[in-house]
Amino acid sequence: MINLPAIYASNVIGFLIMIVLLLSRGWRIQTKNSESQSLLMMITAVIAACITDPIVFYFDGRPGVLPRYIILLGNTVLFSMNAILGPSYITLIVNHINEHQSKKQKYFLSALIFFQLFILFINLFTPIVFGIDESNRYYRLPLYWMYIIAEGMFLLYGQYVYYAAKARGRFLSFFPTWQFLIPIIVGMLGQSFFYGISLIWPCVGVSVCCIALSLQNENIYLDKLTGAFNRFYLNEIMESAKKHGEQLSAIMLDMNGFKAINDTYSHTEGDNALIAMTDILNQVVATNGVVIRFAGDEFIIILDKTAHHSVQDYISYIHEAIDKYNDSSDKPYKLSASMGGNTFSLSNNLDFDLVNEIDKLMYADKALYYQNNNRRK
């Protein structure tokens, strides 16, 4: 039996949560446009579904041609939203942890989306997912469960991507993906086994809101100018390493001639140089570590436990990437950096000062730079 007041209430709550999130710009993630777009896509899907769902329930069982078409098209829209939600969730996670999907993975996900939409198109003419009886009552057909399984696959795949990266030694402490999963599972199981209630999309709305809050909270670990991590995040990493007696491979980088860029070309251009250096470091480190803006024009790179190359290799790669940037840049100045780093064990000495050690190594390299350059720069 359909309980319309309860259906209206649950969907209104889901709708209002998403509208507040939308208008408050809670979906805007600092310096991370790709994640913001995925989150916005998910919010839009939930809003559309929370509007469509009560309309479909209202017309269910009402006589006439118009109600029949509304039920048919409305449920088609609702199933289509599933094809948007899952891929958006996966894309958000992949972008957030700076992973890269292979072409085969992208093709597989695209094919699965297209297949779902194609089946829904067929269902408009030949009921195979859901049908509408002579009394204009919606009923489920066996392929309905294909959509539940497909959505579950999307969600589980997102979890796999996240935890596989974490198992490889990635520092991923502030984005609990399971928080997104639980409300959706509750909603999917509740509505699948108890027809006549509307739980899926309001529960998805709760999950999307939870992800937005987690991402916003993570902003305290980000540098506002460059989008790199900040010293708060470095402290979290070092405390965790000391607690578990782990090794850390770290590099400190100090930009050469940064003061001259500020003095000669303006502080705005100095900011652009910092952003450019951050981009270079992110490209080199990629999924093998994290880039931290420590202070001013100083950066610290923490390599993952499973980084593919040694500290010295990465120092060489960074120098090469800086040279490549300078060759293609139209800026009136050249970027340069002094670097030093090593692998340290934090298990034997809780008072060990990692920053001080890599700072010494960096300044040794800086001294060599000053032998051939003006110390005032």
Sign of the alpha-carbon torsion through 86, 88, 94, 100: positive
Which CATH fold topology does 231-370 show?
A: Alpha-Beta Plaits (3.30.70)
Check residue 1 and give its pLDDT: 65
Check residue 86 and give its pLDDT: 80
Tokens (6 digits) for 10: 């649950």
**Whether the predicted model's global pTM rises above the 0.75 cut:** no
What would the pLDDT profile of 242-254 be if each residue is shown by its tens digit? Answer: 777 778 899 999 9
What would the pLDDT profile of 49-84 be if each residue is shown by its tens digit? Answer: 999 999 999 999 999 999 999 999 999 999 998 878
Question: If you ran DSSP here, which 8-state letter would residue 288 be given?
Answer: G
- Residue 81's closest CA among 235, 228, 219, 187? 187
- One-character DSSP codes across 92-138: HHHHHTT----HHHHHHHHHHHHHHHHHHHHHTTS-SSEEE-TT--E
Q: Could you tell me which CATH class the domain 4-219 is placed in?
A: mainly alpha
- Residue 180's closest CA among 77, 51, 37, 39? 39
Q: Scanning the structure block, which residue is given the tokens 């469509």?
A: 52
* Residue 128: pLDDT band with limits 50, 70, 90: very high
For residue 376, pLDDT over 70 is answered with no
d(CA 285, CA 318): 9
Residues of the chain with CATH 1.20.1070: 4-219
Residues of the chain with CATH 3.30.70.270: 231-370
**How many CB atoms neighbour CB 112 within 10 A?**
17
